[in-house]
Amino acid sequence: MTALPGLLTLLLLLAIAVAGWVHSALRAARLQAERSQRTTAAYLRALFNESPVSIMVFDSETRRLVDANPAACRSYGVDSLEALRRTRIWDQSQPFTEAEALQKLQLASHQGSQQFEWRSRRADGSLFWEEVTLTPVRVNGERRILATSVDISALKAQQEALRQHANQDALTGLANRRFLEYRLQLAIARARQHNVPFALCYVDLDEFKPVNDTLGHGAGDEVLRTVARRLRSLLRSEDTMARIGGDEFALILNDVASRNACEQIAERMLAQVRSPLTLAGNTLNVSASIGLARFPDHGLDGETLIRHADLAMYTAKSRGRNGYAWFKPPTTSGQPPLDGGNQPGGPPIQLS
């Protein structure tokens, strides 16, 4: 019996020691977990801060900007989170209004991730294209929207350049034949819907080849650019002008109610082309021949209208150049005579 108190004492000491060890172990584990959490948080914060991708965090309920990384601040032209909060980055955004852009945050909160392109606004007012991904997340138990975005302005510019290359004449900046055919389809649809005619003018410079032969192709290119600018100055916003060949142009004149109105425009075109131009110390006198075709009288589709206007242009040339002629449907003899026109004649391109 005398050994029992000693054993109890030993067990008590042992229990105290074990409790102390467990406490120390738990404390060490807790400290390690805290250190690990701090390390993880620091690691994630470093990734957040150093990421080249713009990252912003919004409150899913109020849509208030909670946090943003330096890349986001740089993208919008500010130097701090507070400055970014003061910047209406989606004001005048495209293709959405500011309200629609903010509604995207709500959609992400309730329907899951959203991805789209839009134009955002920098602090200086300039706009740029972004590809944006909105992802709902939970941070410390709170619902947030993670917005990541990449500047795609360069990609959009490249796409626009490719579009222009496909639809635009590189020398003059006018539409090319492909785009002319597309605009003819629109003009025909519009004319049918509103029951209004339109005219197609086919313009060809007279004796253009000697310019290239005597002054070189660079001079010839400058003549084409000058003629393009002069003719384009006569057009209204609803009209279309295209370069469809070496020295050939086509113009769609919408809502031309009468032949007389179209002829007056053709006269102004001839006058613009005839105006002398100076090139490399030489004064050039240029003229053109114009063929006219009218929808629906001279064709019901774009290809037919172009062909008939082309035929009319050749008749204008055969009558002495420097004038215009209308297309007339074939007679019973099978020949395609041309109707109307003015043929003042005169010299083609001359150097002086």
Identify the CATH number of the domain defined by range 168-351: 3.30.70.270
Alpha-carbon distances, residue 74 vs 55, 66, 68, 103 (angstroms): 11, 17, 10, 24
d(CA 57, CA 52): 16
pTM, two decimal places: 0.60
- The string of pLDDT tens digits covering residues 40-76 is 677 777 888 888 999 999 998 888 899 999 999 999 9
d(CA 105, CA 107): 5
What integer best gives the mean pLDDT of the chain? 84
pLDDT value of residue 39: 67
* DSSP classification of residue 138: E
Closest CA relative to residue 147, chosen from 58, 83, 74: 58
Task: Quote the percentage of the chain above a pLDDT of 90.
Answer: 47
In this structure, of 102-111, 316-325, 341-350, the range with the lowest mean pLDDT score is 341-350
pLDDT value of residue 83: 92
The answer to whether 269 and 290 have CB atoms below 8 angstroms apart is: yes
> What 3-state DSSP class applies to 45?
helix
Domain 48-155 sits in which CATH superfamily? PAS domain (3.30.450.20)
Compute the average pLDDT of residues 216-240. 93
CATH fold match for the domains 48-155 and 168-351: no
d(CA 121, CA 127): 5
Domain spans of the chain? 48-155, 168-351
> What 3-state DSSP class applies to 157?
helix
Compute the average pLDDT of residues 248-253. 96
| Cα 288 off chain centre by | 35
- The string of pLDDT tens digits covering residues 152-176 is 998 888 888 888 788 999 999 999 9
The answer to whether 120 and 130 have CB atoms below 8 angstroms apart is: yes
> pLDDT tier at 272 (50, 70, 90 boundaries)?
very high
Q: Which residues, 6+ apart, have CB-to-CB distance to 96 below 8 Å?
A: 90, 104, 118
Task: Quote the percentage of the chain above a pLDDT of 70.
Answer: 82
pLDDT value of residue 3: 62
d(CA 99, CA 106): 11
- The string of pLDDT tens digits covering residues 170-227 is 999 999 999 999 999 999 999 998 898 999 999 999 988 888 888 888 889 999 999 9
- The string of pLDDT tens digits covering residues 294-311 is 999 999 999 999 999 999
